[in-house]
Structure 1
Amino acid sequence: MEFVSFAEQARRIASGQVTSAELVEESLAQIQRLDHQLNAFVAVLDERARAEAAQRDATPAAQRGPLHGVPIAIKDENDVAGLPTAYGGAAFRTPAAADSEVVRRLREAGAVIVGKTRMPEFGIWPWTETSANGYTRNPWNPMRSTAGSSGGSAAAVASGMVAAAIGGDGGGSIRLPSSWCGLYGLKCQRGRTSAAPNAHLWRSLGVIGPLTRTVEDSALIYDAITGSTPIDTWRAGPLPISLTEAYRREPGRLRIGYLTKFAGASADAETTKALLDTADALAELGHLVEPVDPKFPNVSLTFMAQTAAGVAEEAARAEYPELLERRTRTLMRLTAPLRGLAGKAERDGQAAGAAFAAAYFGDHDLLLMPTTPSPAVPVGQLDGRGALAATSKATATSGFTSIWNVLGNPAAAIPSGFSSDGLPLSVQLVGAPNGEPTLIQVSAQLERVRPWAQERPPLS
């Protein structure tokens, strides 16, 4: 059952073909079998998950939610009652008193939380490596990185330990690990999901959402977790239809632009070929597909100021600040002058997003571009690197993704085949503001003509 989709697991529970208890036992068995090789989990909630599954199985059918009984994992920056919210590091010890809003909504919809997944400290780096917890490894090749910062979630889903896991994306942190681990990863519109009990995630940059193997799974989970609270700084406007409804509808003929290079970033030959093949597939589906060269805003300072403020705000919560990584402390010291610019950076990012939407999305529906410059790189990307060297390397890795956090647009990493040495390739499809339904529809079209979810990594 480990490679049955999240949505199909929910359907099988609803039809009585399988119980939540059986699915949770299988997930826990997979974690026990694989996690010592992959290092995806911070904590596994064996007994609590079993008890929760038993409760789900005892729930009358009329009271069951859309995710009823299906196991799911949670990235370590989200509060799960009874576990520390450690942000990937060693500086936090006190268990959270309550679930975060996204976790609360998942439980309300019936999902069973089986554990928390690893991330680099505060999600700073696009590789899931920490001094405290070592490397998280890629199921397609354990000597390769999962990317980050939602690397533990990606490894857990790609290997079949769970069918879906929650991540967060402040500069590419859902899309980058989805790219390197062969998953579907949609970064939603700014404000679509709640950061509560916090007011925001890295100021205006971050959103919370799932990493999945199928498009339907992402649509289903987003429908369950979408919504804001009075605490949230950012709130997206309502969508005209649910993402599950969008998944079931054809999009009509769209105008899609594509590019292979952006702001000095370029992809390797195999990634570029995969993108051009995807453009051809979209044209064969009936869309008008054309090369484009939009005028992009320069958002480097806007991104850095908000990142500096976001990391510092999370680090200020540390119970044992002396246990923060040296690289983190150095980075905070070096970027301290930028923190005061965060408010202006938020406003500048919103203005740039509106201007780009008017200029490009006024006559195009979608933009196709690379997700990552290459397939997964070796583990150990942070070894021997201080804050400045690591930042320079990280900027190159997230060169195609971070702009969409500044501008706020939804963007999806979509599997697009494999490299010559068997590593997943990915393309990124970017939507207009509040354009998640269109992204889901076109992603589903690509999934039907170029299916990927049946592929299994060696460690699975």
Structure 2
Amino acid sequence: MTEDTSAHSGERAFIGVAEQTAAVRTGRTSAVELTEQTLTRIERWQPRLNAFTQVLTDRALAQARALDDRQARGEELGPLHGVPIAVKDEVDVEGVPTTFGGAGNTVPATADGEMVRRLRAAGAIIVGKTTLPEFGTWPFTESAAHGYTRNPWDTTRTTGGSSGGSAAAVATGIVAAATGGDGGGSIRIPAAYCGLFGLKPQRGRVSTAPHRDLWRALGTLGVLTRTVADSALLYEVISGSTATDRWQALETGFAVTEPTGPLRIAVSLRCAVPGVRPDPECVAAVRAMAEALAELGHHVEDFEPSYPDVTSAFLPQFLGGIREETDQVDRPDLLERRTRTIAAIARVVAPEPVLRWAERRGEQVAATINTVFDRYDFVLTPTLPHLPGPVGRLDNLGVVRAMRRSIPMTSYTALWNVTGNPAAAIPAGWSPTGLPLSVQLIGRPNDELGILRVATQLEQARPWADRWPDFS
């Protein structure tokens, strides 16, 4: 698809999270009007994108009316007042089933997950739940229960995954932000394929309650947005832990300002997975963003860290995490065959002692790889080695072939789930065929703020948020 110069012209005041809440607060629109506009966009584009598993029309409008009433009474308003947001269908929303992207769970959640609770408390309106591959297993958003989710820039192509429905919804402006989860790249991969900013936060930054963790030590929850500032605003709202959470990050702030002084940035093209080579367009994107960073005054140089093999740390936690999630559903007979196979394998090869060993191995990997931050402040890499391929990437594939197809997709991202470091997909222009390009910026532990600051500089130097998929 090509750049759109007209289809969104009547909606440009409502593109970003900050702009939307400002419009509601100042009376240029109301929470109800903004929610109705969002629901109309869902109805218009859902048949083309397949981004939602559930649309919560009546609930969203009721919440919007309550927020408008609150504003009319002069009560204190939250930082996300009146903003419609979509939630990836792996996080509980009270009163609706958490499908995990499949058909095996039909029981409505009895309460909001902690992240959703914080969003609502800040004034966000939950308009629907977004697609993912069953249990987020694959980096392609397609499932037997919900079909293919399509890339807004070219609807014959994949959004990546697993937060593909969230990415498609934000990329088209259906919503200004949506939640995601990242256990091996599942925020960064669809953000990259859909032209969005997607930060995987530090492990423990965002609560996974009512669950103790997400895929053991691998997974984190977060958001996808068009702009860096909107992500910073949302992370300010959703960050924090509860007594339920196994992981708790050191406290940090999200007030994005200019970085102080020149930073040391390593540029690494080498993939952590042997045999995976990045496409020329992906390499060119990294080189262009490295040049932009140098022009901004940072010290940028090529440096290839020694990447340890993370298979023994990643694979057991991946298998064990899926097994733990499949154990929660009420209709295991409705799970996809691949999912049932993975759960069965996990029960044999990933018992609790193996999972604990894999977590310790992850700590060893982190200690090794984080030595790069003794020399550099950040590492810049491709987010993905390839441009998005056609939909149907999982058609007729068993577990082994599906894993082989998936490994290149996570070859730059999964390492940082093992170590827990914050890492972000940053838009880096478009390919000659009009598909989004992306780079990944990785920071030392607990330095989400540093990533946001550098990403803000890049956004100002190489803007991306004013270009949209063509839905005219």
Please tell me whether the aligned partners of residues 163 and 213 of structure 1 are also in contact (alpha carbons under 8 angstroms).
yes
**Where does residue 363 of structure 1 map in the other structure?**
375
Q: How does 1:106-125 map to 2 (within 5 A)?
A: 106-125=119-138
CA displacement 1:61-86 (0-9 Å, x = unmatched): 55111111100000000000011011
Q: 2:389 aligns with which of 369, 377, 385?
A: 377
How far is 1:374 from its partner? 1.4
**Where does residue 264 of structure 2 map in the other structure?**
255
How far is 1:338 from its partner? 3.1
In the alignment, residue 261 of structure 1 is paired with which amino acid?
A: R
Q: 1:227 aligns with which of 240, 249, 257?
A: 240
Please tell me whether the aligned partners of residues 141 and 158 of structure 2 are also in contact (alpha carbons under 8 angstroms).
yes
**Where does residue 132 of structure 1 map in the other structure?**
145
Please tell me whether the aligned partners of residues 410 and 430 of structure 1 are also in contact (alpha carbons under 8 angstroms).
yes
Please tell me whether the aligned partners of residues 140 and 459 of structure 1 are also in contact (alpha carbons under 8 angstroms).
no
* 2: CA distance, partners of 1:275 / 1:71: 33
* 2: CA distance, partners of 1:363 / 1:17: 50
**Where does residue 200 of structure 1 map in the other structure?**
213
SS at match of 1:361: helix
* 2: CA distance, partners of 1:30 / 1:411: 31
In the alignment, residue 374 of structure 1 is paired with which amino acid?
A: H
How far is 1:334 from its partner? 3.1
* 2: CA distance, partners of 1:139 / 1:14: 31
Please tell me whether the aligned partners of residues 192 and 436 of structure 2 are also in contact (alpha carbons under 8 angstroms).
yes
Please tell me whether the aligned partners of residues 134 and 143 of structure 2 are also in contact (alpha carbons under 8 angstroms).
yes
Residues 1:211 and 2:220 are matched in the alignment: no
In the alignment, residue 431 of structure 1 is paired with which amino acid?
A: G
**Where does residue 93 of structure 2 map in the other structure?**
80
Please tell me whether the aligned partners of residues 270 and 304 of structure 2 are also in contact (alpha carbons under 8 angstroms).
no
SS at match of 2:79: coil
When structure 1 is superposed on structure 2, of 51-60 and 376-385 the one drifting more is 51-60
Residues 1:33 and 2:44 are matched in the alignment: yes
SS at match of 1:360: helix
How far is 1:5 from its partner? 0.8
In the alignment, residue 179 of structure 2 is paired with which amino acid?
A: I
Please tell me whether the aligned partners of residues 353 and 407 of structure 1 are also in contact (alpha carbons under 8 angstroms).
yes
SS at match of 1:59: helix
In the alignment, residue 287 of structure 1 is paired with which amino acid?
A: H
* 2: CA distance, partners of 1:196 / 1:459: 37
Residues 1:395 and 2:404 are matched in the alignment: no
When structure 1 is superposed on structure 2, of 52-61 and 419-428 the one drifting more is 52-61
Please tell me whether the aligned partners of residues 251 and 438 of structure 1 are also in contact (alpha carbons under 8 angstroms).
no
How far is 1:355 from its partner? 3.1
CA displacement 1:144-201 (0-9 Å, x = unmatched): 0010000000011011110100000000000000000000000000000000000000
SS at match of 2:145: coil
* 2: CA distance, partners of 1:251 / 1:439: 13
SS at match of 1:420: coil
Report the identity percentage: 50
Residues 1:58 and 2:69 are matched in the alignment: yes
Q: How does 1:277-316 map to 2 (within 5 A)?
A: 277-316=288-327
Structure 1's unaligned 5+ residue stretches are: none
Q: 2:155 aligns with which of 120, 138, 142?
A: 142
**Where does residue 17 of structure 1 map in the other structure?**
28
In the alignment, residue 40 of structure 1 is paired with which amino acid?
A: A
* 2: CA distance, partners of 1:190 / 1:272: 28
How far is 1:215 from its partner? 0.2
Equivalenced residues, count: 455
How far is 1:48 from its partner? 1.0
* 2: CA distance, partners of 1:15 / 1:254: 39
* 1: CA distance, partners of 2:198 / 2:75: 31
Task: Describe the shift of the 1:249–1:381 C-alpha distance in structure 2 as closer, same or farther (beyond 3 A).
Answer: same
When structure 1 is superposed on structure 2, of 16-25 and 99-108 the one drifting more is 16-25
Structure 2's unaligned 5+ residue stretches are: 1-10
In the alignment, residue 94 of structure 1 is paired with which amino acid?
A: V
Q: How does 1:143-162 map to 2 (within 5 A)?
A: 143-162=156-175
SS at match of 1:327: helix
**Where does residue 435 of structure 2 map in the other structure?**
423
Please tell me whether the aligned partners of residues 251 and 442 of structure 1 are also in contact (alpha carbons under 8 angstroms).
no
In the alignment, residue 225 of structure 1 is paired with which amino acid?
A: I
* 2: CA distance, partners of 1:71 / 1:250: 31
* 2: CA distance, partners of 1:62 / 1:132: 43
When structure 1 is superposed on structure 2, of 286-295 and 339-348 the one drifting more is 339-348
SS at match of 1:200: coil
In the alignment, residue 166 of structure 1 is paired with which amino acid?
A: T
